[in-house]
Structure formats: structure tokens, C-alpha cells
Structure 1
Amino acid sequence: MGRRRLLQAGLAGAAATALPLRAQTQGDTLRIGFVSPMSGPLGIFGEGDGHVLDLVRAAAGGSVTAGGKRLKLEFIHKDTQSNPVRAAQVAKELVNADKVDLVLSTSTPETVNPVADVCEAAGIPALSTTSPWEAFYFGRGAKPGEPSPFKWTYHFSFGVGNFARLYADQWSKVATNKKVGMLLPADADGNAIRGLLVPALQKAGFTVVDAGPYQNGVADFSAQIQLFKKEGVEIFNTFPFPPDFAVFWRQAAQRGLAQQVKIVQMAKAGLFAAELDALGALGHGLHAGAYWHRSFPFSSPATGLTCAQLADSYEKASGKPWNQQLGATASLFDAALAAVRACPDAKDRAAMAKSLATLKTETAVGLVDFTAGPVANCTPTGLVGVQWVRAKPGSKAKFDIEIVANADHPRVQTTARMTAYAMGKA
């Protein structure tokens, strides 16, 4: 054999050996994509996501065992910039370019719905949280009473039933005329709440004044404020983008509505200390629902920390106050890794989807149980009622958040008594 042929044969042999090794290396790595809003108007939700992911990476040590096989573990995090179109775009990048085996997403329908739609179309298992489950399920085309149209996408989070139980309990703690002013945007959250929560509140004995849908980012709420004042509402409930609530509430204070209401119940907004800091005196006494709190009596298996330790870890690393999305994001990794470990072949898409569908595990937010429904692809997690109050000395923020109602999440203890909102009074 000539020198050239010998060399060619040697290179060919080396290539034949290298290709199976490369394929084997890819087959031994489990790639998990993670999509969340790190910037834009919803960026406050993703503020702690990088820290939680760092904790998960450190606790996992770069590997995970599934089906008796040790797999290398790789996470790829992408920012939606609070844009649903970009959320779909980065999900496609994860599927087509990064070749992930599982996609995780969190924080509002503007993130989880477009990501889930991409994964459903591509046949990639996906798990998400922190968005009303009805907005995820019905907002993507499922019909009440009909079989689920989804095979690959799964979601755990609070739902309308959780809000209804929470509000009936929390709103009973302050004497009011039971007239509720509802400010709901023209988006997936607003549509789900309008269609399902409003009737539930009416059934519970509340009179609901719905100001009608509005577009996110609107700058003038004069008409809605005038309506609520005219109708004499003493309870105000809203599900806006965080920046929109600040605009509304400053105008409500200027026009006398803030002095009229006794309960100011926020959802989607009013979840983070920075929002309250920006409101100043108008923030004291505001009410909300919380899907996680540092006082939750649970632990996060994916990070190896208790809820209190998770909050402390973030405060030490960032210099900022803890926020409730820390625990929700941790619970997403808790549930995902539990499903991976329970899967006989985590690299097989169908097996992974089945593992998600039958998942029952404890997380940082409590029990996640897909075997309990209410529909095949979704399961609810509990909410507690909270109230923002001026922070105690030594706190990293101007406001602290106290648990004042727990009917929807009885495993969690209350930390304070709820009081009526009193504008600007300590």
C-alpha cells in the first residue's frame, strides 16, 4: 500500500472511530432549555432566575441519574425580553439549534404559552409554571369538557379556583360593602380571569364591577377610576403588567379612588419589593396573593435549600430583597429533575412526556401532582394572601410582605393579621 493510501486509510479509520464517540457523547448529555423574561416590563419576574439556576447547577454537579444511567446535565437559559414573539423565537432556537431534550419556562402567559406552542408543534417535552393554568390550557385552544389536545406540554401553577378560595377568605378579614372593581387587561390572563373568576366571585356573594378590557401599556385610566368611584367599590382587584399598576394607582390616589377602597388586591403586579419601593407611601397596606414566601415550610430538592435558606442565599448574593419568584423558579427545576429521575429513558421524548404526565413530587411551593388533574396537562398549586407593610429595621427593602390568609394553602402558617388599606398611613 502506498504512503498516500495508507494515510487516507488511517484518517478514514480515525473518523469512523470518532463519529460513534461523538454520537455517544451527545447521547450521554441531557440538555434542558430554560426560558424566562430577564428584561423588559416583565423582567422583574426573571431577576432571580440566574441565581436559582446557578444553585441548581451547583447542586446537580453537572450530572443526573435517570433510568439507572448517569447523564451529563446541561442547562441553556434564554431571555424573552418580555416579548411573546421572542419567546417563541428562542424556544425554536432551543429545539432546532441547541437540540434540547426538555424545555422549561416560567412567568406569565406571555412567556409560557408561546414556548409551549413551539414545543407542542416540535414534539419536545415541556414544563412551565407561574401563570394561571386556565390561561395556559384554554388560552392555547383546549375546550372545556373535551379531551386535552396537548401531548408534550405540561404546566403547574395557581388557577382561578385558587384565587376564588383565596379572595373569599382574605376579603372576609376586613369589613366592606363587597363591591369589587375589576381591572383586567385584554390578554390571556385578563380573558381567563374575566371568564372564570368573575362568575365565581359573584357566586360567593360579591358584586363585580368590570371596567372592561384595556390594552397593556395604556397611560390614562381616568374612565376606569371614574366608574369605580361612581359605583362605590370598596375592593379593587387587578391582573396588570407591573408597570401598568403603578400608573393606575398613582392616578387613583390623585382622583380619590385610593381613599375610597379598603382592599387593594393585586395579582401579576405587586409581587416584588421594588414595585412597592417605587410607590412610596402609596405601597403601604396593599394586598396580593403569593405563590411563594420565605416562610413556606418546604424545601427545594433541586437546590438543596429550605425556603428560608433560598431567600437568604439570594439576598447575600445580590444585595437585594428576596422575591416570590425565587421559590417558583426553584420549584420548576424541582419538578423537572424529579420527572427526569423517574423516567426510564430521559433522552426518549415520549418517555419524558409520560414521566411529566404522571409526576407527583414535593417542591419549594409544595406538592406538584399531575395525577390529580383537573385536566391532563395541568395541576394547580396553592396561594396565600399577603399584605405589604413598612419594613422592620434591618430589612433590605422598604417593605416587607406578611402572610395574612391561608385558606387555599393550609400547610402554610399566617405571619400577621390583615388590615384595611389606608392610603399613606403607617
Structure 2
Amino acid sequence: MTDSNPQQPVGSTRRQLLQAGAATGLAAFPMIGRTQGNTLRIGVVSPRSGPLALFGEGDGFVLDQVRRHSSSVEAGGKRWTLEFIAKDTQSNPVRAAAMAKELVNADKVDFVLSTSTPETVNPVADACEAAGVPALSTTSPWEAFYFGRGAKPGEPSPFKWTYHFCFGVGNFAKLYTDQWSKVTTNKKVGMLLPADADGNAIRGLLIPALQKAGYSVFDAGPYQNGLTDFSAQIAAFRKEGIEIFNTFPFPPDFAVFWRQAAQRGLAQQVKIVQMAKAGLFAAELDALGALGNGLHAGAYWHRSFPFKSPATGLGSAQLADAYEKASGKGWNQQIGATASLFDAAVAAVRACPNPGDRAALAATLGKLKAETAVGDIDFTSGPVPNCATTGLVGVQWVRGLGGGNKFGLEIVANADHPKVPLTGTMKPYAVKA
């Protein structure tokens, strides 16, 4: 594996990514398919190390299941062998683009998959768009993928090759107004949003939606990922009297913030602590100890989801159990989301009259309807070209639910994903002063 500029900071700007792409000749990628016989080579890009590594922790396991169950498929009257080639971004967006370039130029792939946050999927998608290679991604708000890469509201899509399915800001608004209604508060919300694609999308779209729903929202302002001192933001939240705290940080940054919030009295003030991007994995909560008990989040997959993963052949509970047996760790919601990426990819290959033709495969993605581990997806219904949406459920972390002092997730709100059953009752966050 080629190591391309591994020291580039995670917070690299879109301009830097495009400059890096131009410098390495992304625009000169070959446009002709490289399929050898009836073998399709599929690249898989995700963060398996670095600050986003928790997202990629189960990717190898899921890929092993897919290789066992979906190593070949029927498409266009032929049997196609699927060969998967995985790359680690090291949580670095410039490296993500470099890995996409390596997959196309060196590994000669026909199709690229990527998952987990805009720092992964956006640079990979930009590289594939420039290369003329079909790409599919998930686990990043669709607005960050679509508008974060230069598309404009009301204008035709600038993207021909790249497709994405995931929840969006509208899902968060519906989820939060339902979940937050289950606890009595003063409806004052404090937002902590980084200066990145996620933060920008949330700031521009979610805050107005929450205000329209009757919440008073205080935005502490953009901050750089990796910040180590949040005393100014904490002081501002305390002064504003917020009782609902909402944030979209890198996972390590939330742990830093929340420990400081407990030291400075904010954790004792709030009744709802709603995390996204952080707070998705039990290891984060285990590290927080008592401070993690009762924290709130949204979940895009749970072992109680009533859906099957066609690419792995496993139902949600089966997928969770198999992961726990293989890894010795508790299940996490990303294994279901990663399975859904392969579900959609395999469905697209099956539906394509000639999956060895890049243009034909890209066209199939644009009209894809598929069953996945996170629910049905439909690219013909929008919300914008190149994107399809999935649902979210509201969850709460409970210490001891995972055995001993380990944390587990209760589903406490499902207005955005009503097919998913509730497993618990929403409770206010409470920590001893």
C-alpha cells in the first residue's frame, strides 16, 4: 500500500484536496473499464486507524462475511466474481483521495465503495468523479456529501459517477424534536459544531429547523478539530442556561469536552446530551465511565433493527452476534451500516445489464432500489440526484446494559424510523455534582 502524505492534518480543506488531486493527476485517470474476464474488482476505502478508527473497527469482519456469502453474482446473463480490495485512510482526507487514486490506477478497480464521515467519503468521491469510476458511499449526512462537494440547491447535479445514501439534516430534526419531547426542559439548546463539512451542514440547516420547531438555539461558533481547551464554550453554555446540549465532533474531542464540562458544572446543568459522530461506540462510553451513563445519541443501525443484510445473509441480531463471537467485542452500529454499503453495491451489480461497463454501472446506481441492513433505499425518490436517505432512531447509553460496567444502547425514539421497535424509555441525563 502506498503511503501518500500521511502527515497531512485531518482538517485539510476542500481546496487542498483538489490541489492534491490535480498534482497527482486525478483528472487523467483512465475512463475505460479494467474488468478482467468476468471478474469485478471493487475497492473499499474506510478509516481503520487514526481518530476515526472506531468507525472502521468492524469493516474487516463485515467484508469477510460478504466474501463468504456474495463472492459471485448473476448479472446480465453472466456469473461475475467479486474481488474486494480494502484500503485504510488513516483518518486522513488527503490519504483517502490517494487511496482512491491507487485503487483506480494501480489496482485497476471497476467500482469504489467508501464509508464513515465526510473526511473519508468526500475526497474518495471527488477522486472517482474525476476518474470516471462509479462510486457508492454511506455514513455521512447526505448534505455534507452533496452540497459539501459543490452542488447547488435547485441546480442540476454536477456528479455523474458518485452516489451516496445516508440520513440527513432533516432526519436529525425529526429525530431530535421527537426524542427531546420525552424529557421536560427549558428548550434552550447549545450547539458545539466544528469547522468541517459536518459542522457546516448542520449549522446551516439543522439550527433553523430546530428554531422553527420552537427551540432557542445558541451556537458556540466553529472550532478546529483537535481542540484541547473548551473552557470558553463551556462558560458560554452555562451563561445561556442551556438544558439541551447537541454536538457533532470527532470522537476524541467529545471526551475532552465532556470531562471539562463535568469539571466546570455544565454536565450538572443539562438534561439532554445529544451526540452525533461521537458517542456512537461503546468504547467511547466505557472510557468516560460514570460520565457516559445516560448520554443520548442517534443510531443508524442497532441489533434490534428488523432488517436483513442480503450481502452477508444475516439478520441484524445475527450480524451483531457473529461480530461479537468473532471479535470478542460488543457489537457497534457501524457494522450494520457497513453491511448496508455492500448490500447496495451487490444489488447494483446484480441489477446492471453489464456491470463491467462503468457508465452502465453508474446509471444503475442512479435508479437503484435495494433492501439493506439499515432499511430500504431508493435513489429514484431523492431528496436530490445522486443521493438516497435512510432513517435514524434515538438511543440512550445505559451503563450495565452490556454486562458489568459495559455500556449498551436502548432505542428510545423512532419517529424517523417507525419500523424499528423501541427497547426502552428516554430518561434525562443525570450526573452527581
Q: Could you state the TM-score of these two structures normalised by the residue count of structure 1?
A: 0.93
Contact 2:35-2:109 within 8 A present in 1 as well: no
Q: What does residue 418 of structure 2 align with?
A: 410
Q: Quick one: distance in 2 between partners of 1:25 and 1:140?
A: 29
Shift of the 300–196 alpha-carbon distance from structure 1 to 2, 3 Å rule, reads same
Indicate the residue corresponding to 1:321 in structure 2.
330
Question: 1:209 is matched by which residue type in structure 2?
Answer: F
Q: Deviations 1:211-254 (Å, cap 9, x if unpaired)?
A: 00000000000000000000000000000000000000000000
CA distance in 2, matches of 1:26, 1:387: 48
Q: 2:243 matched to 1:234? A: yes
Partner of 1:186: 195
For 1:148-187, list aligned pairs within 5 A: 148-187=157-196
| Equivalent residue number for residue 51 of structure 1 | 61
Is contact 1:320-1:396 (8 Å) kept?
A: no
Letter in 1 for 2:283: A
Distance 1:424 1:55, change over 3 A: farther
- Residue number among 120, 126, 132 corresponding to 1:117 in the alignment: 126
For the 8 Å contact 2:355–2:361, the answer to whether it is kept is: yes
What do residues 26-79 of structure 1 show as CA deviations (whole Å, max 9, x unaligned)? 13210000000000000000000000000000002x322111111121000000
Distance 1:24 1:230, change over 3 A: closer
CA contact (8 A) 2:129 2:161 kept: yes
**Where does residue 8 of structure 1 map in the other structure?**
none
Choose which of 81, 93, 98 in structure 1 pairs with 2:90.
Answer: 81
Which of 133, 137, 141 is the equivalent residue of 1:132?
Answer: 141
Distance in 2, Cα, partners of 1:257 & 1:25: 57
Deviation of the 1:395 alpha carbon: 3.1
Matched-pair contact (CA < 8 Å) for 1:225–1:257: yes
Distance 2:178 2:98 in 1: 41
CA RMSD of aligned residues (A): 1.3
In the TM superposition, 1:142-291 aligns within 5 A as 142-291=151-300
Shift of 1:132: 0.3
- In structure 2, how many angstroms separate the alpha carbons of the residues matched to 1:196 and 1:287? 21
1:346 pairs with one of 333, 347, 355: 355
SS of 1:94's equivalent in the other structure is helix
The aligned amino acid for 2:411 is I
Distance 2:122 2:157 in 1: 15
Aligned residue in 2 for 1:6: none
Q: Gaps (5+ residues) in structure 1?
A: 1-22
Distance 1:110 1:25 in 2: 29
- Residues 35 and 41, structure 2, Cα contact 8 Å, conserved in 1: no
Change (3 A) 1:24 1:296: closer
| Code of the aligned partner of 1:32 | I
Work out which of the two has the higher radius of gyration on C-alpha atoms and give 1 or 2.
1
Structure 2, gaps ≥5 residues long: 1-32
Query: How far, CA to CA, are the matches of 2:250 and 2:295 in structure 1?
Result: 16
CA contact (8 A) 1:198 1:208 kept: yes
Cα 1:86–1:24, aligned 2, differ >3 Å: closer, same or farther? Answer: closer
Structure 1 residue 298: deviation in Å?
Answer: 0.3
